[in-house]
Amino acid sequence: MTASNYSYSSLAHLGPQGRWRRVLLVAVVPMLCGFIYYAYASSFFPHTAFKPSQYPYQHNVSLPADDISMATVIKALYSPILHPVDAANFTDEDGDVHKLPGEPRFKEKLGKRVLVLDIDSRPLTNDGQLMNEELKWKGMRPLSAGMLSHFMFANIHGYDYKFIRAPDYPDRWGTWVKVPMMKEALKTHDYIVFMDSDVMFHYPHLPLEWLLNYWNMTADTLAMMSIDPDEPQNYDTKGNRYLNTGFVIAQQSKRTQEMYKAWAECPSETRYKGCGQWKVAWAHEQAAFGNYIRYDFDRPDDIKVLPCVEANGAPEAVNRGGCKGTFVRHFWVDKGLLAKGISDSVMQYFVPRLHQMYHQEASEHIIDKKGFKLVGADMVPMTDEEKEALKKDEGKNQKDEGF
Ligand SMILES: *[C@@H]1O[C@H](CO)[C@@H](O)[C@H](O)[C@H]1NC(C)=O
Ligand SMILES: *[C@@H]1O[C@H](CO)[C@@H](O)[C@H](O)[C@H]1NC(C)=O
Ligand SMILES: *[C@@H]1O[C@H](CO)[C@@H](O)[C@H](O)[C@H]1NC(C)=O
């Protein structure tokens, strides 16, 4: 099997044919007109205006020839620009630079040691839901977008992915099932990433390992969760803010198993007096964790609290305590934003590539008629003097993106 080489290059690497160099293009117009014209084809960017690429790390990637499987499509889009797991920094879409706090612990990809986990006890078989035989973009339900994005994230980085159809507790609110299911998953995988279906990674090309380095997951960390916004309903009985259990990164260890056991058994009240109330009362398993478990598993490294701005909320929720979901978006603010979320996680990569292609092939489709003037229905070549004079009132009858 042959392999075709595939590489993403920024505009800055365009060959000379893509620059301001004039390419003389002879176009034959329909014989009726019977005239031949010259056109300039060029990139719109003078090379002094080139900006550094938003994807500083670019890799050559081989793809199997004649393979149009979805796995290959995903690889073609993301692999050329994957961020290295141990990169010293990451620049986000707003230009903010996030630097590792120190020497990275994770320098190699973890691959299948990581499990990206969806857990649900509902059938999800209605129109627009994930387990329906058919799913269209139009009418897709929000949670389908979330879970598909988790699946895609795992595929991009070679992590394991599982959807666990969970059994229900007869006497507890549905979300409680995630506790014993995460506990199970931590028997087979070293790291699990559990996300509610309204949670997604905003930069799918940024590997989990990088975030583990950035958030300083140590060998002793049991779990990482984000703090909730500073609002009255998010406080526990001791006056501390809840950790949001909709996004959890947990690390396998004996102590992690003990913590999950204590958590799942919390409502039995053998260990934690009063926990039974959270069986059905809001915030369910989150309240049990917030009121009891975190105070019981309180070694300095046990629970790593992630900032709300980075791992909770969404830009639309920035007025809720600044929780704008820089790395991990949690769309409690509006579930209707999930479809836009998965669209962002494709289009932020697709569009620069399309744009790159547009300019690489510019000589074939950008036709420059600026050397002509319009007289009635005709295009008449301008003299050099006319061109000079024209520069003076450039853009007179145009406005930016206006119509
Ligand atoms: C990618 O391939 C191109 C063309 O074969 C080569 O010039 C370039 O050095 C390669 N880049 C890397 C990072 O291997
Ligand atoms: C990010 O890291 C790279 C590689 O170490 C370095 O060249 C670059 O200057 C860093 N950027 C910033 C803004 O710190
Ligand atoms: C990471 O966490 C460990 C343990 O809490 C701490 O000793 C270390 O200083 C932290 N590293 C950085 C760079 O913050």
Given a contact cutoff of 8 angstroms between Cβ atoms, the answer to whether 189 and 252 are in contact is yes
State the pLDDT at residue 301. Answer: 97
Q: C-alpha distances in angstroms, 336 versus 106, 145, 146, 332, 333? A: 35, 10, 11, 10, 9
**Ligand lying nearest the CA atom of residue 59:** 1
Average pLDDT value for residue range 112-130: 97
State the pLDDT at residue 9. Answer: 53
> Does the pLDDT at position 150 exceed 90?
yes
Residue located nearest, by CA, to atom 14 of ligand 3: 101
Higher pLDDT among residues 226 and 353, named by residue = 226
Residue located nearest, by CA, to atom 4 of ligand 2: 88
Distance 216 CA to ligand 3 centre (A): 6
Distance 103 CA to ligand 3 centre (A): 10
Average pLDDT value for residue range 316-335: 93
Q: Give, for ligand 3, the residue of 106, 216, 298 to mutate: max count of ligand atoms closer than 8 Å to Cβ.
A: 216
Q: Give, for ligand 2, the residue of 53, 85, 89 to mutate: max count of ligand atoms closer than 8 Å to Cβ.
A: 89
For the Cβ of 89 lying below 6 angstroms from any atom of ligand 2, the answer is yes
- In the block, tokens 């007179």 appear at 396
Distance 116 CA to ligand 1 centre (A): 32
- φ, ψ dihedrals at 193, nearest 5°: -120, 110
Residue located nearest, by CA, to atom 10 of ligand 2: 89
Q: Tell me the C-alpha distance between 245 and 283, whole Å.
A: 10
State the pLDDT at residue 401. Answer: 65
Average pLDDT value for residue range 367-381: 94
Average pLDDT value for residue range 128-137: 97
Distance 314 CA to ligand 3 centre (A): 27
Higher pLDDT among residues 3 and 401, named by residue = 401
Average pLDDT value for residue range 228-234: 91
Distance 159 CA to ligand 1 centre (A): 27
CB atoms within 10 A of CB 175: 18
For the Cβ of 88 lying below 6 angstroms from any atom of ligand 2, the answer is yes
Distance 108 CA to ligand 3 centre (A): 20
Average pLDDT value for residue range 313-338: 94
State the pLDDT at residue 393. Answer: 73
Residue located nearest, by CA, to atom 13 of ligand 2: 97
**Alpha-carbon dihedral angle through residues 164, 167, 168, 174, given to the nearest 10 degrees:** 0
List, by residue range, all CATH 3.90.550.10 domains of the chain. Answer: 94-333
**Ligand lying nearest the CA atom of residue 300:** 3
> Does the pLDDT at position 36 exceed 90?
no
**94-333 fold:** Spore Coat Polysaccharide Biosynthesis Protein SpsA; Chain A (3.90.550)
β-strand pairing of 114-120 with 160-165: parallel
**Ligand lying nearest the CA atom of residue 89:** 2
State the pLDDT at residue 53. Answer: 66
For 283, the token pair is: 């915030």
For the Cβ of 97 lying below 6 angstroms from any atom of ligand 2, the answer is yes
Distance 78 CA to ligand 2 centre (A): 21
For the Cβ of 305 lying below 6 angstroms from any atom of ligand 3, the answer is no
Average pLDDT value for residue range 343-352: 95
Q: How many CA atoms lie within 13 A of 36 on its CB side?
A: 4
Distance 9 CA to ligand 1 centre (A): 10
Average pLDDT value for residue range 344-354: 94
State the pLDDT at residue 104. Answer: 98
Distance 53 CA to ligand 2 centre (A): 13
Q: Tell me the C-alpha distance between 176 and 168, whole Å.
A: 8
pLDDT-derived band at 5 (thresholds 50, 70, 90) equals low
pLDDT-derived band at 142 (thresholds 50, 70, 90) equals very high
For 147, the token pair is: 């879970």
Average pLDDT value for residue range 239-256: 96
> Does the pLDDT at position 163 exceed 90?
yes
**Residues 257-274 pLDDT 10s:** 999 999 999 999 999 999
**Residues 16-33 pLDDT 10s:** 443 333 333 333 333 333
Q: Which of 19-23, 163-167, 205-209, 294-298 has the lowest mean pLDDT?
A: 19-23
**Residues 97-108 pLDDT 10s:** 999 999 999 999
Given a contact cutoff of 8 angstroms between Cβ atoms, the answer to whether 81 and 8 are in contact is yes
State the pLDDT at residue 205. Answer: 97
Confidence (pTM)? 0.85
> Does the pLDDT at position 399 exceed 80?
no
**Ligand lying nearest the CA atom of residue 104:** 3
For 207, the token pair is: 């590997």
**Residues 175-213 pLDDT 10s:** 999 999 999 999 999 999 999 999 999 999 999 999 999
Distance 214 CA to ligand 3 centre (A): 11
**Residues 37-53 pLDDT 10s:** 222 323 334 333 334 46
State the pLDDT at residue 396. Answer: 73
Which protein residues are within 6 Å of ligand 1, measured from CB? 5, 7, 60
**Ligand lying nearest the CA atom of residue 7:** 1
Beta strands per DSSP E along 202-359: 223-227, 243-251, 303-306, 328-330
For the Cβ of 52 lying below 6 angstroms from any atom of ligand 2, the answer is no
State the pLDDT at residue 356. Answer: 86
Q: Tell me the C-alpha distance between 35 and 150, whole Å.
A: 57
- Rounded percentage of the chain residues whose pLDDT exceeds 90: 75
State the pLDDT at residue 362. Answer: 87
Residue located nearest, by CA, to atom 6 of ligand 1: 60
pLDDT-derived band at 391 (thresholds 50, 70, 90) equals confident
